[in-house]
Amino acid sequence: MIVLVGGEKGGTGKTTIVTNLAAMRMQQINEILLIDTDKQSSASSWASVRDQNTEIKRVLSVQKFGNTINNEIRALHTKYNDILIDAGGQNSQELRASMLVAEKMYIPIQAGQFDVWTLGLMDQLVSQVKTFNPHLKAMVLINRASTNPSTTEIEEIFQVMSEFENLTLSAAILKERIAYRKAAKEGLSVVELNKQDPKATDEMQFLYNEIYDIV
C-alpha cells in the first residue's frame, strides 16, 4: 500500500505522523520505504537518528523531488509493498505527483479555523487528481487536538466536513502530547518509547489500524 501524509497547510505534524506509522509498520513487516519529498528533510533526519540505534529495526528512507516522482514511486513499489510518503505543507509539485500514485492520503489539520479553511483547497485538488487516480481515498485527520475535553473546536470540524465531496473525516484523533516530541528526538514511534504514554500509544495504534484495515 502507498500511504501519503500531506496537505496544503504547514506545521500540522505531518512528519510526526508518517514517521510513527513507518516505525510501527516496520514492526509488522520487514521491508517498507519512507519517501521524504519535503525539502526540510525532517523525515530523513528522523530516519538518520533512528539508524544510530542498533537495537531497533532500521527504516529505509529516501528523498525524492520534482513533478515526476510519481513514476519513481511506481517503480519503487515493485520492490516495496508498503511505502509511506511525507509531503511538505504546501500545494507543491511533489504533493500533486504523490497523490497520483497514493492509495490513501491523510491530511492532518489542527482544530482551528485557519487550518479548516485549507480543506476547501484540498477538496478541489483531490477532485482534480481523482481524474487520474480514481482510487485515491483522502482522509482528514485531526492532529494536535487539545486534551481539554471542553473544547468545541473538534465539533466545528465535524460540522464543516459535510461541505466537501472528496474528503472523509478519519475516526482517529491525535492530541497534543509530549510523547510525540520525545519519540521524534530519538528516532522512535510513541509505541517504542521505554516509558510509554498509554494515551498517545492508543491514539496512534487506532490510526494505524484504520489505515491498514486491522480490526
Architecture of domain 2-211: 3-Layer(aba) Sandwich (3.40)
Domain ranges of the chain: 2-211
Residues 6 or more apart whose CB falls under 8 angstroms from that of 104 comprise 1, 2, 3, 4, 136, 137, 139, 211
> CA 85 → CA 57, 81, 88, 90, 215, distances in Å?
19, 13, 10, 14, 24
3-state secondary structure of 189: coil
Q: Across-strand partners of 141? A: 108
Q: Which pLDDT belongs to residue 148? A: 77
pLDDT one digit per residue (tens) for the chain, 215 residues = 999 999 887 778 899 999 999 999 998 887 899 999 988 899 999 999 999 999 999 999 999 999 899 999 999 999 999 999 999 766 689 999 999 999 999 999 887 666 677 888 899 999 999 999 999 999 999 999 888 766 677 777 877 888 899 999 999 999 999 999 999 999 999 999 999 999 999 999 999 999 999 97
Q: Which pLDDT belongs to residue 31? A: 85
H or E stretch covering 49: helix 42-51
Q: Which pLDDT belongs to residue 115? A: 67
Q: Which pLDDT belongs to residue 12? A: 82
Q: What is the pTM of this model?
A: 0.93
* Whole-number Å distance between alpha carbons of 36 and 40: 9
> CA 123 → CA 14, 57, 127, 128, 159, distances in Å?
18, 36, 6, 9, 16
3-state secondary structure of 2: strand
Count, in order, helices (H) and strands (E) of the chain. Answer: 9, 7
Nearest to 29 by CA among 51, 61, 57: 57
Q: Which pLDDT belongs to residue 40? A: 87
